[in-house]
Amino acid sequence: MPKKTIKTFHVEWLQVLDERGNCDEELRPPLSDKEIQKLYEWMVLARAFDEKAFKLQREGRLGTYASILGQEAAQVGSAFALQPGDWMFPSYREAGASIVRGLPLKMVFQYWSGDERGSRIPQGQNDFPITIPVGTQIPIATGAAWAAKAKGDKIAVMAYLGDGATSKGDFHEGLNFAGVFSLPVVFLCQNNHWAISVPVSRQTRAETLAQKAIAYGFDGIQVDGNDIFAVYKAAHEALGRARVGQGPTLIECVTYRIGDHTTADDATRYRTEEEVREWREKDPIDRLKRYMGKKGLWDEAYDHKVALESREQVEAAVAEEEAIPPPDPRDIFRYTFAELPEDLKEQMEHLFGSDGRPNP
């Protein structure tokens, strides 16, 4: 039998901005001063949103909520690389990316309050609604990328996922299909080290998650997920390749979930205070702030202004969301079938009467 050549591989690691705010200027993407400040402002807004959402949940004004604390750079940096015509497929922990994409904050609060109208993405915004079941957004995003390629649309698709999703069949099916058909899709994995209580070491024996792309015939890159410059650079380049027909990319953003998995979780039961403290010192916002301070782009007055405006924007969104009239209970029946079956018509009339008013 003829011998097969076994190819060796390596996974690139990318860091541009270290924890002390020191930057490799040769690697830094060509962002203007205003763009760098905008990235900082989006991260501060995302954190203000997250803090408010957590408090609202504890007050019973939101349902179960998934915090993004500590993952702001991975979300803001990657979403900033998207163009308006590109499609974004989030999981349930991408509030920061949604903010950058322009989804009204009131709608994000509306969704987490349990009102499905928060999933009605505004016309013309190419974002898919939040996906709760782990990994299910991946093959859908791959399908959207296949459709874009078939139509000749010069766009890219970005699918967000967590490290836990790499253990789902949806992940492997989506990546395999994307590789076979060389589709314009970027898979953005936020490796925050914990899939609820399961550490990434129990998800895989592989040294990286990024290397999983190699089995499907395309590139994977591992980046410092708390370095917004590295995230943006990797996402910008991968999306650019996708748009010109050079196929998919898997980006692993190594970051950390500072908070609990959701407000229904207690992370102190499975991880140490020392581990959390170590990652707090790698805070993505503080890191960019240190760099901006060295460049004259940040001072105390600017920081106070950004924090105040962010809180005001979040409070205004909460007021808007809570002023929205409750949904019509008949919507339970209205949006499942194009034409309502007779048995459901009977149920609706039994509950609401022929005039549409609820029966006593």
Residues identified as active-site: 257, 261, 270
Which secondary structure element, helix H or strand E, spans residue 254, and what is its range? strand 249-254
Q: Among residues 74, 43, 242, which one has the least CA distance to residue 154?
A: 242
Token pair in block for residue 45:
């807004």
Q: Which helix (H) or strand (E) covers residue 346, if one does? A: helix 342-352
In this structure, how many other beta carbons lie within 10 angstroms of the beta carbon of residue 358? Answer: 9
CA–CA gap between residue 259 and residue 194 (Å, rounded):
11
In whole angstroms, give the CA distance from residue 148 to residue 86: 10
> Exposed, middle or buried, 28 (CB in 10 Å: 0-12/13-18/19+)?
middle
Query: What residue type is 57 in one-letter code?
Result: Q
Tokens of 216: 């499907």
SS3 letters for 8-54?
Answer: CCCCEEECCECCCCCECCCCCCCCCHHHHHHHHHHHHHHHHHHHHHH
d(CA 339, CA 354) in angstroms, rounded, equals 17
What gap in Å lies between CA 81 and CA 86, rounded to an integer? 10
Query: In angstroms, rounded to a whole number, what is the distance separating the alpha carbons of residues 145 and 130?
Result: 18
Distance CA 348, CA 281 (A): 55
Residue 2 tokens, joined:
């003829």
Can you name the residues that pair with 252 across neighbouring β-strands? 189, 222
In 10 A of CB 269, how many CB atoms? 8
Query: Which single residue is written with the structure tokens 């308006």?
Result: 84
Token representation of residue 28: 């830094």
Question: How many other C-beta atoms can be found within 10 angstroms of the C-beta atom of residue 309?
Answer: 14
